[in-house]
């Protein structure tokens, strides 16, 4: 389970949970060792691989990656050798450029116990004559361990490889295939004759021959569940190809996967900027910590700029941000805005049964006149930011703007929503608060974003529990009844 970081062992007949293994936050991938004695899991935001004993459910070994490793969704084990393969990206936060920020990798873990443990990263953008790929999603391997597959969601392609038993090269190139739009899953059949690829944005599963990589069948598995406009925008959002991107390394989803943050603070030209969630964005405009864009369509500047280098979605000139709107200048740009604004809030897993006693006490503290938390984090969206006229934007100096020498636009910032804050660490515009407790204590020494210095340890704990519980109910009806209008897109 992605959050709170558990592996559940289920009875296949009844679906009941037999055992629960605590394995760490944001666990995504899980695979079983061939002798069924151990599990291997990988954490999403750091690609940490952990080994779990099935005897007692305890973590018995770990293989950390580089501090730049990110967005690791899945892993597989070699059927005959002590190897674990993980697909992930590398987020190089100090370089905001289309050919220096995001890199695709497959990591190979040597899982033999002992002192000489190794973890090797294979750069997929230099694997085949510098053919750049983007956003590796999943990997799989044939039952005989000879063929290996890795799919790339950003460039709509995949590599077929031979495994090499040399503890050095590990993989050898065989072929490049293009299965469809946004491949997200690859599986080899149990007899090793066929492999299957699911492409998420044309809703198909393609069946290929392992012997010669020939496409045998393509099956539509569902109708489009989105509006045509939102689907068109989602395709652009996940694409690392023109007209969005020139150099193929990056897409919007590389830093905003499924509208969620990537857990990173980037060294942007305007200063340090912690990646924000898109949940509820249609109600919380303007955009960016510095409120320097009043519509998603203003990201045409990013598409054409050094980060993405695309040809763009508007024909001709682009209006400056915060000036005349770029909305209605391009159907494709409006589609991108429609998808970006479509993300909803999700009920917090800390509030599955409503607010706990601790969270309820924290709610009272949050709403109290003394703490002043609800002064800015107000209303059903827990922010005083809203899609209003530029002249009515509300910006606040909360004492964090002087903490970064690279800051170009501070010290006043837009108030972020707190709905879903349990999964958006780190915190504050510069990401220096690693936990919600830090937001209230070490990063709020002068009581400039809430008055919290007088709170006891128990009260801080209660306030953190309340924040982790947001949203504890669907805010949609309250948003509508409050008079907040969603942005036009």
Within-domain flag for 345: no
Q: What's the CA angle centered on 472, arms 466 and 475, to 5 degrees?
A: 120
Tell me the per-residue pLDDT of 311-340, one tens digit each, with 9 for 90 and over.
999 999 999 999 999 999 999 999 999 999
pLDDT of residue 404: 85
The secondary structure element, H or E, covering residue 235 is: helix 228-238
Residues 123, 134: Cα–Cα separation, whole Å: 11
Residues 422, 436: Cα–Cα separation, whole Å: 8
Residues 59, 45: Cα–Cα separation, whole Å: 18
| Pair (215, 156) in one structural domain | yes
| Pair (201, 171) in one structural domain | yes
Q: Are 86 and 27 in contact (CB under 8 A)?
A: no
| Pair (366, 277) in one structural domain | no
| Pair (276, 363) in one structural domain | no
Domain range enclosing 398: 350-482
Within-domain flag for 441: yes
| Pair (86, 196) in one structural domain | yes
171-177: strand order across its sheet: 136-141, 147-152, 157-163, 171-177
Tell me the per-residue pLDDT of 149-170, one tens digit each, with 9 for 90 and over.
999 999 999 999 999 998 889 9
Is it the case that residue 465 has pLDDT exceeding 70? Answer: yes
Within-domain flag for 130: yes
| Pair (325, 455) in one structural domain | no
Tell me the per-residue pLDDT of 391-435, one tens digit each, with 9 for 90 and over.
889 999 999 988 888 899 979 999 999 999 999 999 999 999 999
Is it the case that residue 6 has pLDDT exceeding 60? Answer: yes
CATH number at residue 469: 1.10.760.10
| Pair (87, 205) in one structural domain | yes
| Pair (274, 210) in one structural domain | no
| Pair (354, 471) in one structural domain | yes
CA neighbours closer than 13 Å in the CB half-sphere of residue 315: 2
Mean pLDDT, the chain, integer: 94
Within-domain flag for 295: yes
Within-domain flag for 395: yes
| Pair (354, 392) in one structural domain | yes
| Pair (212, 240) in one structural domain | no
Residues 222, 154: Cα–Cα separation, whole Å: 22
Residue at a domain's end among 170, 186, 220: 220
Within-domain flag for 434: yes
pLDDT of residue 98: 53
Residues 351, 469: Cα–Cα separation, whole Å: 5
Say which residue, 196 or 268, is predicted with more confidence: 196
Within-domain flag for 1: no
| Pair (448, 358) in one structural domain | yes
- Dihedral over Cα of 472, 475, 481, 484: its sign: positive
Domain count, the chain: 3
Backbone angles phi, psi at 23, to 5 degrees: -125, 0
Residue at a domain's end among 318, 340, 362: 340
Q: Are 275 and 263 in contact (CB under 8 A)?
A: yes
**3-class SS at 480?**
helix
Tell me the per-residue pLDDT of 25-70, one tens digit each, with 9 for 90 and over.
899 999 999 889 999 999 999 999 999 999 999 999 999 999 999 9
Q: Are 185 and 138 in contact (CB under 8 A)?
A: yes
């Amino acid at each position: 389970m992605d959050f709170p970081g558990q592996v559940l062992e289920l009875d296949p007949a009844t679906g009941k949970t037999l055992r629960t293994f605590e394995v760490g936050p944001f666990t995504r991938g899980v695979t079983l060792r061939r002798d069924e004695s151990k599990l291997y899991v990988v954490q999403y935001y750091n690609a940490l691989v952990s080994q779990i004993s099935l005897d007692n459910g305890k973590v018995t070994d770990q293989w950390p990656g580089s501090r730049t490793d990110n967005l690791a969704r899945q892993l597989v084990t070699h059927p005959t050798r002590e190897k674990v393969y993980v697909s992930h990206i590398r987020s190089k936060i100090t370089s905001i450029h289309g050919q220096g920020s995001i890199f695709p990798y497959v990591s190979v873990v040597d899982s033999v116990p002992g002192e000489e443990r190794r973890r090797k990263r294979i750069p997929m953008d230099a694997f085949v004559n510098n053919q750049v790929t983007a956003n590796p999603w999943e990997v799989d391997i044939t039952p005989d361990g000879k063929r290996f597959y890795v799919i790339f969601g950003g460039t709509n392609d995949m590599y077929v490889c031979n495994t090499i038993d040399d503890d050095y090269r590990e993989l050898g190139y065989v072929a490049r295939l293009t299965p469809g739009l946004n491949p997200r899953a690859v599986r080899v059949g149990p007899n090793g004759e066929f492999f299957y690829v699911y492409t998420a944005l044309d809703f198909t599963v393609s069946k290929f021959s392992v012997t010669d990589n020939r496409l045998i069948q393509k099956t539509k598995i569902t109708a489009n569940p989105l509006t045509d406009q939102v689907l068109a925008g989602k395709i652009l959002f996940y694409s690392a190809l023109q007209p969005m991107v020139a150099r193929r390394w990056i897409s919007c989803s590389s830093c905003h996967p499924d509208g969620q943050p990537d857990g990173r603070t980037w060294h942007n030209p305007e200063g340090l900027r912690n990646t924000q969630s898109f949940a509820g964005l249609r109600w919380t405009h303007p955009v960016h910590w510095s409120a320097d864009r009043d519509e998603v369509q203003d990201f045409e500047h990013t598409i054409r700029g050094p980060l993405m280098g695309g040809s763009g979605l508007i024909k001709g000139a682009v209006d400056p941000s915060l000036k005349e709107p770029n909305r209605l200048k391009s159907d494709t740009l409006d589609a991108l805005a429609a998808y970006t604004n479509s993300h909803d809030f999700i009920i917090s897993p800390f509030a599955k049964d409503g607010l706990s006693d601790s969270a309820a006490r924290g709610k009272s503290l949050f709403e109290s006149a003394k703490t002043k938390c609800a002064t800015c984090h107000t209303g059903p969206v827990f922010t005083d930011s809203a899609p209003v006229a530029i002249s009515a934007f509300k910006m606040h100096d909360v004492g964090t703007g002087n903490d970064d020498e690279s800051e170009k636009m501070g010290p006043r910032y837009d108030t972020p929503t707190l709905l879903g804050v349990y999964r958006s660490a780190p915190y504050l515009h510069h990401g220096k608060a690693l936990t919600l407790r830090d937001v209230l204590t070490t990063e709020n020494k002068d009581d400039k974003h809430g008055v919290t210095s007088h709170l006891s340890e128990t009260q801080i704990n209660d306030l953190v529990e309340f924040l982790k519980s947001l949203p504890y109910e669907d805010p949609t009806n309250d948003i509508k009844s409050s008079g907040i209008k969603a942005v036009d897109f």
